A and B are shown apart, each in its own frame.
Chain A
């Protein structure tokens, strides 16, 4: 196919030019200040909560014992009638068997079959963060069989479970944790609040394309 050949040529030409000129690049400098930008955080839960709330996210402080009760109370109080959870989520069995008056929808088929519901019917999605970042109020969500990425994206409300013990101080610390970062999932997401935009005259508006509300169940104890 001529297209493939043209592309092979392009690849070859680009790399060849770069190799030819590479000598003009400044030689490898010793990093002058390898910790610049690193901010240490002592009170991780406090910092996380403050940053998340500053970004218009909501934080429900709770415990491993009470979080389900708190979740359903919150859903009822906010008149959110249904919640979708992946049926392979680590909490699927726990949640799906609850009888709470809230309709629990399992995410149990390929996206193509779920798409219509996700866009038009699901009121809230349930996600599990595998870690968080205190300084910036950030949730880290790794895609996988139990964590479809559209659950934290398409429904208007997103509830996210987060264990306070998994909080890193800052992004530097999280990204340097080789064990946590390898292997990377198909989609690793840092989420730091509900979707927003300031594209109209610098006026902040929430719920641009993703969730309008982000509610964190912060498990501390």
Chain B
């Protein structure tokens, strides 16, 4: 998603939410999946004290690395270069796309196979390459299903979580020549495996994301279960790794606590099948591995997040997805309703900071501030506080932060109402008068008031206010002298 089309996030947000809420099958799919993932995570953290200690450790490791971010990036670059990895820097999505296209062109390559990379979704790489005649094929099973369906991931860890078995069976049957309809998951995965093996075999370039980049050793780490990440980074002659600048860690010793938190929080696994650590292209005495490895370091708004004392906490994120799994709103509306590459609580925080509040600020409204995300986050990101902060910045052009589009979510009517509300509460006379009229004319309140009454009956003020009732019962109010 490039900045130009990021406006989609704000446009029609309400419609998307309404559609999602009305789709019973979709709601069932998410409810089932989220319950499953929450249970699995809980089983991995039986002891609350141990969990808190580990979360604190994770938070501190990430903070230490972020504190040294510019130095670590330089160290990572130097170390990668000495390992034979070519390093590129991209300030924007557009630059990253062009760097990747340039590498493809240098090799006259037209076929790319991709391991899972949310950063590549963030920059809209597939569309960009398609416009330049290059096929970029997703190879993560979930991503592959989503691509076959001409859709986008609805979850950062489990991209096809919005679909059930029957829907996927139908999709495979319709979109893959010669494939019978079957709901047998092993057979469905077998079909994906066959199709994609051929693609790995033919691909000229493999693209992957990066979970951790180790500065001390110049190592790119990838976390996965399927083996498609290994395929994409091992079989094609050229490997391109796309990495957000915040992913860098200082040393190998930083990895175990973060990796432990990541897999347990994400899918409730003690460990993933593969932890793939790449420190360079094939050496002259080796028989396999890519001949070239490129690392593209992507900023795209991250250094702006870094500037703000509160919002910089966003950068601690290790993209585990636990916050969405535990979010009651996400569970009900699903990932697509947000309209952003990054849905759920972390999406509500990251998206406006990447694409601007004017383009993506509305999704901060899809939050009841219940705090479940903060309690689940393995690196203690205070997500509700950051969501509230962004809501505030969206309404205040004079806000301190650097987020684009500040103040642009301000609605004049809403502002007037709040002004009146403030006035009302400051003036006792006006307050009493309003209270008096609200109780007297309560029957005049219309029974249909917009979306509120679509699923609920209209509120009706009581005939007597609390003050009236207390007075009637003889209780004194507002007498400072009566207080103990």
Contact = CB atoms under 8 A, between A and B. Distances in A.
B67 A150 contact: no
Given A17-B306, A205-B185, A209-B139, A145 B279 contact: no
A208 B36 CA distance: 21
B217 A184 contact: yes
Contact of A187 (B29, B193, B289): B289
Most chain A CB within 10 A, of B74, B192, B267, is at: B192
Nearest to B92: A10
Given A32-B57, A208-B193, A17 B272 contact: no
A184 B277 contact: yes
B57 A10 contact: no
A211 B98 CA distance: 35
B271 A201 contact: no
Contact of B69 (A22, A34, A190, A201): A22
Interface in B242-270: 245, 252-253, 255-257, 259-261, 267, 270
B141 interface: yes
Nearest to A145: B285
A143 B278 CA distance: 10
A58 to B, nearest CB: 14
A10 B289 contact: no
Interface string B290-301: 000000010100
A14 B303 contact: yes
Interface in A164-201: 170-172, 175-176, 181-182, 184-201
A192 B271 contact: yes
A25 B201 contact: no
Given A195-B226, A202-B33, A24 B309 contact: yes
Contacts of B168: 200-201
Nearest to B282: A186
Nearest to B167: A201
A71 interface: no
B267 to A, nearest CB: 7
A186 B234 contact: no
B281 interface: yes
Contacts of A190: 271, 274-277
Interface in A148-166: 148-150, 153-154
A136 B269 CA distance: 10
B256 A29 contact: no
Contacts of B260: 37, 171
A37 B257 contact: yes
Interface residues of B, number: 98
B108 to A, nearest CB: 17
A150 B234 contact: yes
B226 A18 contact: no
| Residue of B36, B37, B235 with most chain A CB atoms under a 10 A cut-off | B235
A202 B163 CA distance: 11
Interface stretch (A60-68, A75-83, A97-105, A107-115): A107-115
Contacts of B98: 3
B61 to A, nearest CB: 8
B57 A107 contact: no
Contacts of B53: 32-33, 36-37
Contacts of A211: 227
Contacts of A114: 287-288
B230 interface: yes
Contacts of B277: 184, 187-190
B99 interface: yes
Interface stretch (B83-91, B348-356, B421-429, B456-464): B83-91
Contact of A200 (B160, B219, B252): B160
Given A10-B299, A184-B277, A208-B225, A37 B256 contact: yes
26 contacts: A7-B89, A10-B299, A14-B73, A14-B89, A18-B73, A32-B56, A33-B57, A115-B201, A115-B235, A148-B286, A150-B288, A153-B231, A171-B255, A172-B256, A184-B219, A189-B277, A192-B274, A194-B273, A197-B225, A199-B145, A201-B33, A201-B164, A201-B185, A208-B192, A209-B197, A209-B226
Interface of A: 3, 6-7, 10-11, 13-15, 17-22, 24-29, 31-34, 36-37, 51, 55, 86, 107, 109-111, 114-115, 119, 135-138, 143-145, 148-150, 153-154, 170-172, 175-176, 181-182, 184-203, 205, 207-211
Report the 9 A-B pairs with minimum CB-CB distance, sorted nearest first.
A210-B227, A111-B288, A199-B142, A190-B275, A208-B226, A36-B53, A209-B227, A195-B227, A11-B89
